[in-house]
Amino acid sequence: TTFYERYHTLDDIYFWLNRTQQDNPSTVKLILIGSSSEKQPLYVLKLSLNDRPNKKAMWIDCGIHAREWISTAFCLWFVRHSLLFYSQNPDITHILDNMDVYILPVMNPDGYKYTWTTNRMWRKNRAVSKSSSCIGVDLNRNFDAEWCTVGASDDPCSEIYCGTFPESEPESQAVAKFLRRHKDSVQLYFSVHSYSQMLLFPYSCTLDEADNHNELLELAQHAAQKIRRFYRNTYKYGAGAKTIYLASGGSDDWAYNLGIKYSFTFELQDSGRYGFLLPPSYIPQACNEALTALKTITLKVIEKT
């Protein structure tokens, strides 16, 4: 099996990031956007395959939740696909001709490391609390979208602890600051999670429909159809609140409210047999399914503009 068909430790991923930049000095940049509560660097990889003026951009983050290893594997898979098939595959070529891509492979490095060393099922970051001996904030409850109102907890011992205030965590704050700075160019936001095979879009923090709900629904539906046709696998799709559950403080809702009108959370394989413990042999198909969805949506968004 190749590097991309395995899961990797945090150190391996940092090594891979450096190596990828060094091997592709004209097309790959590494941007340090902040550091985690245990002072691990948060690197965004910028893919810029050609320099047209006024290029738009998309954002992809992986590994918000530590135990969702297939998510981080997807970010690596996407980079490999882009670098390998640019100018070979017409879809990825068209996408990269029109957009730069910002990729954050591990939003939660401390938690990710902890899943390798100590507890495979860890979800949150590893922040120490002032009021409790419990560790960690759920980074996908820490963004400023109806923060801590529903589907989140103010108990530091909860798996869905929202933190002490919106963006209290260095990881979520780094992402929010970066996207605020780049919001005029970033048109698409993708956050990659597992598991349950869903293509979700705002809102999750309220039952209200997003302004462009029908447009988002159509994009997600097309993506799910492609996955069904090519990979014979079923993905549910819809607004988060009605498709998975009501939950506030998520990055997708926050990015949407910032003005990124095409905002998605993907829940990758599987549908429950292995759950978070998806065997490495499933990495290729799981990643290709997500890649198909991402490409389908992005190509349609490029067509619109």
Which parts of this chain interact with ligand 0X9 (CB under 6 A)?
65, 68, 140, 193, 200, 204, 240, 244, 247, 250, 252-253, 265, 267
Active site residue 267: yes
Q: Which is nearer to ligand 0X9, 267 or 289 (CB)?
A: 267
Q: Which of 218, 213, 219 is nearest to 242 (CA)?
A: 213
Q: Give the one entry of Zn ion, ligand 0X9, none that residue 250 binds, where binding means its C-beta sits below a cut-off of 5 to 8 angstroms depending on kind.
A: ligand 0X9
Stretch that binds Zn ion, among 73-81, 92-100, 186-194, 294-302 (CB under 5 A): 186-194
Q: Which is nearer to Zn ion, 103 or 160 (CB)?
A: 160
Least distance from C-beta 62 to ligand 0X9, angstroms? Answer: 11
Q: Which is nearer to ligand 0X9, 11 or 211 (CB)?
A: 211
Q: Which is nearer to Zn ion, 65 or 113 (CB)?
A: 65
Q: Would you say 24 and 83 are in contact if contact means Cβ atoms under 8 Å apart?
A: yes
Least distance from C-beta 240 to Zn ion, angstroms? Answer: 12
Q: Which is nearer to ligand 0X9, 246 or 299 (CB)?
A: 246
Which three-class secondary structure string do you get for the chain? CCHHHCCCCHHHHHHHHHHHHHHCCCCEEEEEEEECCCCCEEEEEEECCCCCCCCEEEEEEECCCCCCHHHHHHHHHHHHHHHHHCCCCHHHHHHHHHEEEEEECCCCHHHHHHHHHCCCCCCCCCCECCCCCCECCCHHHCCCCCCCCCCCECCCCCCCECCCCCCCCHHHHHHHHHHHHCCCCEEEEEEEEECCCEEEECCCCCCCCCCCHHHHHHHHHHHHHHHHHHHCCCCEEEEHHHHCCCCCCCHHHHHHHHCCCEEEEEEECCCCCCHHHCCHHHHHHHHHHHHHHHHHHHHHHHHHC
**CB-based contacts of 262, cutoff 8 Å, min separation 6:** 187, 188, 189, 216, 219, 297, 301
Q: Give the one entry of ligand 0X9, Zn ion, none that residue 45 binds, where binding means its C-beta sits below a cut-off of 5 to 8 angstroms depending on kind.
A: none
Rg (CA), the chain: 18
113 binding Zn ion? (CB under 5 A): no
Q: Give the one entry of ligand 0X9, Zn ion, none that residue 200 binds, where binding means its C-beta sits below a cut-off of 5 to 8 angstroms depending on kind.
A: ligand 0X9
Least distance from C-beta 124 to ligand 0X9, angstroms? Answer: 10
Least distance from C-beta 276 to ligand 0X9, angstroms? Answer: 9
Count of residues of this chain found to bind Zn ion when the rule CB under 5 A is applied: 3
Least distance from C-beta 68 to Zn ion, angstroms? Answer: 5
For the segment 189-218, give every residue that binds Zn ion (CB under 5 A).
193
Q: Which is nearer to ligand 0X9, 92 or 192 (CB)?
A: 192
Least distance from C-beta 84 to ligand 0X9, angstroms? Answer: 28
Which listed residue (68, 169, 171, 267) is catalytic? 267
What positions carry a catalytic annotation?
267
Residues of this chain that bind Zn ion (CB under 5 A) = 65, 68, 193
